[in-house]
Amino acid sequence: MSADGVCSACGADVVFVRSETSKATMILDVKTEKHVLLLDYGKPAYSIDAVRQALEAGLATARVTSVFTDHHATCPHADQFRRST
C-alpha cells in the first residue's frame, strides 16, 4: 500500500500511516499545523502536572513543532466513515 493517497469521500490529499499502538491504519492530512510541544526534563510532556513539576524545578521548555491531523477531524464528509456495524 502506498503511503500517499486521496480521501475517497472528499478528494483531499492524505497519507496512510499505521498507528503505533493499535496497528490500525490512520488517515492523516498531508498539510501540517504548528503546535507547541512542552518538554519536561528534556522529554515531551504529556500531562500538565508533569509540566508544573518541571516548571518548579526550572526544567520545563517549549518547542514549536509541526504536527499532522487525523483526517477524520477535518474531512467535510467524515459522516461517511461512520458506518453502522
Phi and psi at 19, nearest 5°, equal: -65, 135
User: Side chain identity at 35, as an amino acid letter?
Assistant: H
Q: Contact between 7 and Zn ion (CB under 5 A)?
A: yes
Strand partners, 43: 40
Residue at grid coordinates 461512520: 82
Q: Contact between 28 and Zn ion (CB under 5 A)?
A: no
Nearer to Zn ion, 28 or 75 (CB): 75
Enumerate the H helices of the chain as residue ranges: 48-56, 71-74
In the complex, the smallest distance separating the C-beta of residue 48 from Zn ion, rounded to whole angstroms, is 32
> In 3D, which of 25, 33, 30 has the Cα closest to residue 81?
25
**Binding characters for Zn ion, 58-77, by CB under 5 A (x = yes):** -----------------x--
Q: Contact between 27 and Zn ion (CB under 5 A)?
A: no
Q: Contact between 9 and Zn ion (CB under 5 A)?
A: yes
Q: Which residues bind Zn ion (CB under 5 A)?
A: 7, 9-10, 12, 75
